[in-house]
């Protein structure tokens, strides 16, 4: 471990550290010298956040932490494609003030725009997260928050050999299924519809929790898009 940590100190590149967690464990995933590194951490009773020694030795780390889907308020808008950024932003503020269940000062919000030239529209996705919850995750500098379902999908797709188009993929996750659509995430309880199952992946026996592993892996693959 000491030599491993010392070799990390010589690196100057940015490292994307994906982090997922449940009530019992945290999982850390990142790539080092073209090899995937994974660390598991048993949570303490006081839920204190610490980093594995090897990660502490990395220079220029960026931490991507997964956030439960249900914690993120979201709204989908379709606006005229000729709206400029100022007009889009004003529309977003209006929607937040009218529809957000909290005061706008109590949340962090962000948005993404996806032009739909064939329809002369731009699709806007607004995200909002309660500040006091988000602040509890900003323990390390350079921390990015990302939806856990999108992290899971990235991790699954990274390891999957499926040739199905993304819009045709239906993922089984615990007691439900979900798929990504242009309008967001669609859920279903009919597990027979799923064509993407954990059992399709060849995961090593050392993986403590497959869902946490795929979520941390997918978080580390974050590129600023869905």
Assign residue 112 the CATH number of its domain.
3.30.1490.300
2 domain residue, yes or no: no
Q: Is 163 contained in some domain?
A: no
Decide if 110 is inside a domain: yes
Split into its structural domains, the chain has a count of 1
Whether residue 61 lies inside any domain: the answer is: no
Is residue 220 a contact partner of residue 195, using CB atoms and an 8 Å limit?
A: no
CA 224, CA 144: separation in Å to the nearest integer? 10
Mean pLDDT of 178-182: 88
In a domain, 103, yes or no: yes
pLDDT band at 225 (very low <50, low <70, confident <90, very high): low
Residue of 78, 76, 71, 141 whose CA lies nearest to 108: 71
Q: Contact at 8 Å (CB) between 66 and 148?
A: yes
Beta bridge partners of 30: 37
Q: Is residue 50 part of a domain?
A: no
User: What's the average model confidence in pLDDT over 134-139?
Assistant: 89
Could you tell me the residue range of the domain that residue 118 belongs to? 71-133
Q: How many angstroms separate the CA atoms of 210 and 124, rounded?
A: 32
pLDDT at 23 exceeding the cut of 70? yes
Q: Which of 224, 149, 160 is nearest to 185 (CA)?
A: 149
The enclosing H or E element of 139 equals: none
């Amino acid at each position: 471990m000491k030599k491993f940590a010392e070799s990390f100190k010589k690196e100057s590149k940015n490292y994307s550290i994906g982090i997922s967690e449940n009530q019992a464990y945290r999982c850390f995933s990142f790539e080092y010298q073209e090899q995937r590194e994974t660390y598991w951490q048993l949570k303490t009773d006081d839920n204190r956040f610490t980093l594995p020694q090897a990660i502490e030795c990395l220079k220029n780390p960026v931490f991507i932490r997964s956030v439960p889907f249900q914690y993120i308020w979201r709204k989908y808008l379709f606006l005229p494609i000729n709206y400029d950024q100022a007009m889009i932003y004003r529309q977003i503020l209006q929607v937040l003030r009218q529809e957000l269940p909290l005061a706008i000062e109590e949340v962090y919000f962000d948005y993404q725009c996806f032009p739909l030239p064939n329809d002369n529209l731009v699709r806007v996705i607004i995200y909002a997260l309660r500040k006091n919850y988000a602040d509890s995750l900003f323990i390390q500098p350079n921390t990015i928050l990302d939806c856990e379902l999108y992290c899971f999908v990235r991790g699954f797709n990274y390891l999957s050999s499926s040739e199905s188009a993304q819009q045709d993929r239906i993922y089984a996750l615990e007691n439900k299924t979900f798929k990504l659509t242009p309008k967001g995430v669609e859920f279903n309880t009919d597990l027979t519809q799923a064509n993407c199952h954990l059992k399709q992946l060849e995961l090593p026996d050392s993986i403590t929790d497959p869902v946490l592993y795929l979520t941390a892996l997918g978080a580390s693959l974050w590129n600023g898009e869905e």
